[in-house]
């Protein structure tokens, strides 16, 4: 994944060359949209956050270091920051109208396409809801591995932590979730999603 997905010159080169940036965008936009769709349930918000993530890439391109992980892991780290910032912003707003007023209008086809993505990612949102009771550090690792399908190495890179720290947090999170979601030995459909892994052992 690392070698195959890496853009020549990396994100820093893409920022300086519109054609390379378009290649970078096309390569990663679906993964970013899926990441966002697992965390929000409104198509306007999903579209806005996806755009903000790629704008943030322009500011953060210099920070990408191939030795620390793949472009996807680095991009997910940016995406987490953008989504977290949006959650904090919404929490501070007194009226829902303020959140809607600054949005661009979407075409009907765009809304349908985004609603389809949101529907497809609803199981992921249910898993994220189940993870909400975990401590922040453990929840972040588990989200990236179980929901976003990153490896432990990629999740550590996305979070800016050491691999061993990510493994410890993953172990604690799995232990807590196993006790919470499977106390009788009968695994629920949502619980089965929590244990999905990609080479994360």
Q: Would you say how long the chain is, in residues? A: 201
Query: Could you give the angle at which helices 152-159 and 71-92 cross, rounded to 10 degrees?
Result: 50
- pLDDT of residue 106 exceeding 80, the answer is no
- pLDDT of residue 190 exceeding 50, the answer is no
pLDDT at 8: 64
pTM of the full structure: 0.61
**Using CA atoms, how far apart are residues 123 and 127, in angstroms rounded to an integer?**
6
112-124 confidence digits (pLDDT tens) = 888 888 887 777 7
Query: Could you give the angle at which helices 43-60 and 108-120 cross, rounded to 10 degrees?
Result: 90
- pLDDT of residue 102 exceeding 70, the answer is no
Cα distances (angstroms) measured from residue 71 to each of 17, 42, 111, 160: 17, 26, 28, 14
33-92 confidence digits (pLDDT tens) = 999 999 988 899 999 999 999 999 988 888 888 887 788 889 999 999 999 888 888 777
- Helices H, strands E: what count in the chain? 12, 0
123-168 confidence digits (pLDDT tens) = 777 767 777 888 889 989 988 998 888 999 999 999 999 999 999 9
Radius of gyration of the chain (CA): 18
Structure tokens that stand for 191 in this block: 């619980």
pLDDT at 98: 52
- pLDDT of residue 193 exceeding 70, the answer is no
CA angle at residue 90 from 87 to 94, to 5 degrees? 155
């Amino acid at each position: 994944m690392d070698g195959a997905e890496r853009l020549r010159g990396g994100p820093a080169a893409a920022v300086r060359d519109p054609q390379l940036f378009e290649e970078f965008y096309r390569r990663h936009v679906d993964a970013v949209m899926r990441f966002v769709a697992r965390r929000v349930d409104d198509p306007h918000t999903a579209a806005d956050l996806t755009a903000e993530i790629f704008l943030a890439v322009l500011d953060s391109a210099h920070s990408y270091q191939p030795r620390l992980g793949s472009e996807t892991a680095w991009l997910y780290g940016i995406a987490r920051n953008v989504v977290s910032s949006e959650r904090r912003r919404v929490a501070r707003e007194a009226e829902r109208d303020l959140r809607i007023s600054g949005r661009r209008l979407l075409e009907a086809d765009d809304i349908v396409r985004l609603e389809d993505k949101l529907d497809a990612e609803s199981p992921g949102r249910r898993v994220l809801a189940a993870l909400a009771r975990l401590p922040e550090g453990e929840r972040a690792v588990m989200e990236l591995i179980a929901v976003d399908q990153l490896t432990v190495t990629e999740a550590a890179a996305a979070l800016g932590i050491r691999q061993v720290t990510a493994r410890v947090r993953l172990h604690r999170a799995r232990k807590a979730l196993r006790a919470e979601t499977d106390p009788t030995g009968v695994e629920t459909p949502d619980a089965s999603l929590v244990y999905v892994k990609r080479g994360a052992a």
